Amino acid sequence: MIYKLRNIRGCVWASAVILFIIAASSVTAIDYPESAVETVADTLHGTVIEDPYRWLEDQWSERTRDWIDRQNAFTRSYLDTLSVRPAVRERLAELMRVDEVSIPDVGGGRLFYKKRDKGEALFSIVMQEGPEASPEVLIDPRSFSDDESKSVGIVDVTCDGKLLAYSIREGGQDETVVRFFDVDSRRNLADSIPKSLNWGVGVFSHDGRGYYYATYVADVGPRAFYHEVGKADAEDQMIFGEAYGPGKYIDLEISDDGRYLIIFVSKGSSDTWVEVHYDNLEDTSGIITLVDEIEASFAGEVISDQFYLLTNWNAPNRRVLAANLDDPDPSKWREIIPEGETAIEDVSLAGGKLAARYVENASYHLRLFDLEGEPKGELALPSLGRCSNLYGQPSDNVAYYSFSSFVFPYTIYRHDVSTGTSDLWFQESVSIDPADYVVKQVWYSSKDGTRIPMFVVHGKDLTLDGNNPARLTGYGGFNSSQTPKFDARTLTWVEHGGVYAVANLRGGGEFGEEWHRAGMRENKQNVYDDFIAAGEWLIDNGYTRASKLGIAGGSNGGLLVGAAVTQRPDLFGAVVCSYPLLDMVRYHLFLVARFWIPEYGSSEDPDQFKYLLDYSPYHNIRSGADYPAVLFVTGDNDTRVDPSHGRKMTARMQALTGSDNPILLKYDTQAGHSHGQAIDQVIDDRADRLSFLLWQLNK
């Protein structure tokens, strides 16, 4: 659909400023830990903004640490006494303490993947000498820490399977260290890429003698390097990136034959503007620019001299083009897969075929094409749900893909590209009967009349009498599609009599780039309107009522529920807001947040400042408002979304709420935005969140 620009409601944001600068004074009977008010005033574009908790932005000051300790103790005094928590934790543990593996990387006939047996705390990196061989542990994360605070991940393997690059992550930090492992001798090499924000981006040269990687230098920008295996990292050569400043990042790929190094430069994280460069490693011509002035997204892979590009250039639902890298003139590009009525999310090359993953009405379809775009069938998935694309080498006939849905556990298939047959390679063993659940997709109208899809899951015997606790979630940003997936939290919630719903909000990628743009920057309020309308639909259709409607979201989804509760506190009974952005006036000043300016805008721009202030949750808390119970979740190791958002929001909402519903902060000094916690820590965290909602919604 074609989106419309939303009118900026100047009277609303002006009123928000007036409310924000009211002196903070608690009007609730709950005796919260003291949060000192030390107001700092800024004048932006002629508007005075007062921030009473700016001091909480100093994460490591003695005052802030003391405040965190007192808040955590206060929160645990509630969560540790919840009668429902033991049963919730037990069921989560039953569903989550199972064998888990990842899709394998293949090199030299060897399979490399992450594996966690049900009795283990963390994933190890294992290797099989072939499809029928027994797995052997290569990298055990316990060798890096005694407290299970470090996790490992696969970055790349060489074509011959003799060398492995792997990452070491501490807590939930985005930054990682990269190490190298000689597979034949089963030993670590001395080589190391120092801890940095590299997103695990790295590829070996075809001969395994070199390693190309990209990293982000704080306050400088992205840079790409070449590391010669066996040498110190201090000798690494910077090969690209000097021209780029903050707000951009680099991704690297290498062609199957090792001839071409591909460099993608994203201008922000909204997938709206990507440059493409390449280097023919067999000559000395240097890096050649393929795309740099087209405002569109580009991704893809190279086989032989053909670069298959997935792009939304003149195609909001994306299409696939082929560029000959020996003659890359855009006028000679060929259209291989045309734009269709549904969006293509990604493509991959495997077994001489193109695999295209389509999203249709918020579920995935995996379709195959030959290299000229001739359709070669669709993989039969078990049901509507979420799948990965095919993972394999362009020259290898075998590829792997995963699938799951709300009541279908995570499964990996081994696919023979030549015969079109798929065999079960792995499936999580969980104790569920799909017949016990109802899964449906409904459509509802948002505030402006736009039709929005939503998945609803509940027990088969649920009575629609408005008395059921409901857990509504969504995301609505960064072109990310929210498709059905298996999650122990969903089943545990439903088995405790709850309704689970996930709304496919504008800002996501479910219906292509137009859907994405209809929920970004000046159109961001559409996302919140869509979410609020989802809650109203659940109430109007007898699934729940306002006092029993809970909402939950993390990261951009944390911003979503933060905006929803400040705009419509009457609509919700409880909120879990995790690792959130909440101060949208200052968000871009911290960590890597300048990457998100293309998605949100920046308060440095006077027009963008107006709509950001209009919905910024931190600036729209109203003194004396009857807020529902809120559990904010963040932690020290969130190096992506600054945890000061959660700290400041907690202090301000505790001070101004007019209800006796608790406003709590769960602050983990070890956890962060990225994965990496031991399984028992994950279970405990999820038990806290679900128990909090059940406690509040079953009053």
Residue with tokens 């899951």: 457
CA–CA dist 14, 9 (Å, integer): 9
CA–CA dist 344, 272 (Å, integer): 15
Residue with tokens 């009575």: 463
Active site (annotated) includes residue 555:
yes
β 574-578/549-554 pair status: parallel
Q: What is the dihedral of CA 383, 385, 389, 391, to 10 degrees?
A: -70
CA–CA dist 369, 457 (Å, integer): 34
H-run or E-run covering 18: helix 10-20
H-run or E-run covering 453: strand 451-459
Q: Are 392 and 400 in contact (CB under 8 A)?
A: yes
CA–CA dist 587, 197 (Å, integer): 19
Catalytic-labelled residue, pool 516, 619, 645, 673: 673
**Buried b vs exposed e over 40-72: b needs ≥16 C-beta within 10 Å?**
eeeeeeebebbbbbbbbbeeeeeebeebbeebb
Cβ count within 10 A of residue 156: 22
The structure tokens listed for 506 are 């504008």
Q: What is the DSSP letter of 456?
A: E
Residue with tokens 């505030």: 447
Integer angstrom CA distances of residue 349 from 111, 163, 274: 18, 23, 20
Cross-strand pairs, 187? 182
CA–CA dist 44, 232 (Å, integer): 48
Longest dimension (CA), the chain: 74
Q: Are 321 and 333 in contact (CB under 8 A)?
A: yes
Q: At what angle do helices 679-697 and 62-79 cross, to 10 degrees?
A: 60
Q: What is the DSSP letter of 6?
A: P
Catalytic-labelled residue, pool 35, 481, 555, 602: 555
DSSP secondary structure of 346-374: EEEEETTEEEEEEEETTEEEEEEE-TT--
> Rounded to 5 degrees, what are φ and ψ at 390?
-75, 135
> Rounded to 5 degrees, what are φ and ψ at 562?
-65, -45
H-run or E-run covering 164: strand 163-170
Residue with tokens 């490992």: 152
Q: Are 346 and 391 in contact (CB under 8 A)?
A: no
- Considering only CA atoms, which of 260, 342, 330, 334 is closest in space to residue 301? 260
Positions marked catalytic: 555, 673
